[in-house]
Amino acid sequence: MEVTIKKFLNDNREGDKAQFDKKLIPTKYEILGIRTKVLEDFSKVLAKENVRISQMPLSNHEEILLAGMVLAKSKMPQKEKVEDFKILLNYIDNWATCDMIVARLKGLESEGEFFINLLSSDEVFKVRVGIIWVMKFMLKKDVVKALSLLKDRIKVKDYYIDMALAWCYAEALIYDFDFVINFVQKIDNENVKKIAYSKACDSFRISDSQKYFIRNLRKNQIKK
């Protein structure tokens, strides 16, 4: 299986895309330059063959991403899926791999505590995995609990954590504007606040009147 996967990826690599991706994705792994749709289509084939993480190579960016896509499409029980994800988790070292894999991990609500516990990690991308999972699969159901978890559990300060938090807060405004805008105003990290406001103003799911209110908050923040 490993030989089959490596041959497929090598046959579909694109030099121009690899150079472009290298400018955007800081990772210690080699980037081959393979389009997301190509990986998605191949992952469907592998998932139907019940390929497990242990059977897959994890030596470059696309192999790691492909493994995450296969895992997401797998029909295995939730507990087994999380055990496989624990293996993959140690290979996630950048925002793109984190966000693209975690966003696909639907149907793991019963294993939510595992992802929530990652928020307390001292490793940057484990924390980011937790944030993205909360944003994608918990925020809409219970925005108050979700933001409380982010506030209480995260202790590590890092650019990639700040960016994920800002994204999450901007998304949260869609579900409960009054609660979330008050929550964000009390955040100590001015950079997170600034980015959250900016992302919210770019959103198509926030009303013009809400954006007007946010822009005034941004003006007052700049004056300080």
Number of domains comprising the chain:
2
* Residue 25 shares a structural domain with residue 135: no
Residue 180 lies in a domain: yes
Q: Which residues of 124-145 are buried (b: 16+ CB within 10 A; e: fewer)?
A: bbbbbbbbbbbbbbbbeeebee
Cβ atoms within 10 A of the Cβ of 217, count?
16
Residue 57 has a pLDDT of 96
- Same domain? 120 vs 219: yes
- Above 80 in pLDDT, residue 222? no
The pLDDT tens digits for 101-117 are 999 999 888 899 999 99
- Same domain for 159 and 63? no
Q: Is residue 41 part of a domain?
A: yes
Q: Is the pLDDT of residue 220 over 80?
A: no
Query: pLDDT of 59-92, one tens digit each?
Result: 999 999 999 999 999 999 999 999 999 999 999 9
Domain encompassing residue 141: 107-224
- Check whether residue 146 and residue 89 sit in a common domain: no
Q: Write the pLDDT tens digit of every residue in 120-153.
A: 999 999 999 999 999 999 999 999 999 999 999 9
pLDDT (0 to 100) of residue 224? 57
Do residues 80 and 185 both lie within one domain? no
Q: Is the pTM of this model over 0.85?
A: yes
Domain shared by 31 and 132, yes or no: no
- What's the mean pLDDT when you consider all of the chain? 95
172 domain residue, yes or no:
yes
Kindly state whether residues 53 and 6 are assigned to the same domain.
yes
Question: To which residue do tokens 């293996």 refer?
Answer: 87
- 123 and 87 fall within a common domain: no
Q: Is residue 10 part of a domain?
A: yes
Same domain, 111 and 89: no
pLDDT at 207: 94
* 99 occurs within a structural domain: no
Within-domain flag for 79: yes
Residues 6+ apart with CB under 8 A from 96: 21, 24, 25, 27
Contact of 53 with 41, CB cutoff 8 Å = no
Q: What is the pLDDT of residue 33?
A: 98
Looking at the structure, tell me whether residues 77 and 113 fall in a common domain. Answer: no
Please state, for a pLDDT cut of 90, what percent of the chain lies above it. Answer: 92
Task: Single out the residue in 64, 93, 122 at which a domain terminates.
Answer: 93
Are residues 72 and 136 in contact, defined by beta-carbon separation less than 8 angstroms?
no
**Residue 130: inside a domain:** yes
Query: Do 204 and 112 belong to one domain?
Result: yes
Is residue 41 domain-shared with residue 126, that is, in the same domain?
Answer: no
- Find where tokens 């991706």 sit: 21
